[in-house]
Amino acid sequence: MTLDLLVDNLEYNTDRSHLAIPEYGRHIQKMIEQTVEIEDPEKRLKNAESIIAVMGNLNPHLRDVPDFQHKLWDQLYIMSDFKLEIDTPFPMPSKEDVYKSPEPLEYPQNHPKYRFYGNNIKRMIDEAVEWEDGEKKEALILTIANHMKKCYLNWNKDTVKDEVIFNHLYELSDGEINLNETDEDLSKAQDLVNNKRRKHTKRNNRSTRGRKRHN
């Protein structure tokens, strides 16, 4: 074959068909396109089954996935641009269903005004409200309030009065929890900050000792 003939037969990506699933490569795409053009239904099906076998060998990890064959046939239909007409146990998926835009995910944001507390705090407060009155409920509420104070200090490094936390807790509980009417005091800001620093130091020390042992 002469150089001129080779140049004349060069293919450019801009002239090629779109790869619906690039992971399978150009050769698989061409095999599918040629199969679509086969007029004999039996031969068309036989070619499609051969392509499915090759696709399965290219993705051995999919063999542990439920409905492995169904997934491969769906991919085959997609790469044929939904033009492959064959009789298989798996019907051709709808093009609209395959390419429809996903529904937007809702981001849980109960109280954006107090985002520094996080959504878990709100869930804990809602759970505490449902508990029966007693020592366990009081201990849980106090633990939540102390955690809220620590979260507040992480967000705002200055000190914070307990009344501020109590008011936030009252608001987040829809008025169900009111610590302003009790004589309870939260942990001191310095203790909450120092406790966090001690835990951080311990983690760093363990990490350092681990590196020394490996060295």
Express each pLDDT in 126-160 by its tens digit: 999 999 999 999 999 999 999 999 888 888 777 88
Q: Name which residue leads in pLDDT, 15 or 164.
A: 164
Residue 12 predicted with pLDDT over 90: no
The model's pLDDT over 91-113, given as tens digits with 9 standing for 90+, comes to 898 888 888 888 887 766 555 67
Mean pLDDT of the chain: 81
Listing DSSP states for the chain in one string gives --HHHHHHT---GGGSPP-SSGGGHHHHHHHHHHHHT---HHHHHHHHHHHHHHHHHH-GGGGGSTTHHHHHHHHHHHHTTT------SSPPPPHHHHHSPPPPPPPP-S-GGGGGG-HHHHHHHHHHHHSPSSHHHHHHHHHHHHHHHHHHHHH--S---HHHHHHHHHHHTTTS--GGGS---PPPHHHHHHHHHHHHHHHHHHHHHHHHHH-
pLDDT-above-90 percentage for the chain: 36
Report the pLDDT value the prediction gives residue 95, as an integer from 0 to 100. 86
User: Does the pLDDT at position 215 exceed 70?
Assistant: no
pLDDT confidence of residue 198: 52
pLDDT digits (tens, 9 = 90+) for 44-82: 999 999 999 999 888 887 777 778 888 899 999 999 999
pTM for the predicted model, two decimal places: 0.48
pLDDT band (50, 70, 90) for residue 5: low
